[in-house]
Amino acid sequence: TYPKAHFQRCLVHVMRNICAKVRVDDREKIMNEFKQVHQQTNKEEATAVLHDFYTKWGKVYSHVIRSLKDIEPDLLVFYNYPKQIRVVNNSSSNMIES
**What DSSP string runs through 55-72?**
HHHTTT-HHHHHHHHHHH
93 within domain boundaries: no
For 3-57, write each residue's pLDDT tens digit.
Answer: 888 888 888 899 999 999 999 999 999 999 999 998 999 999 999 999 999 999 9
Structural domain of 64: 11-87
Average pLDDT over residues 43-72: 96
2 within domain boundaries: no
DSSP state of 79: G
68 within domain boundaries: yes
98 within domain boundaries: no
- What integer pLDDT is reported at residue 83 of this predicted model? 82
Give the separation between CA 43 and CA 74, rounded to whole angstroms: 12
Domain count, the chain: 1
Q: What is the pTM of this model?
A: 0.82
80 within domain boundaries: yes
94 within domain boundaries: no
pLDDT value at 91 more than 70: no
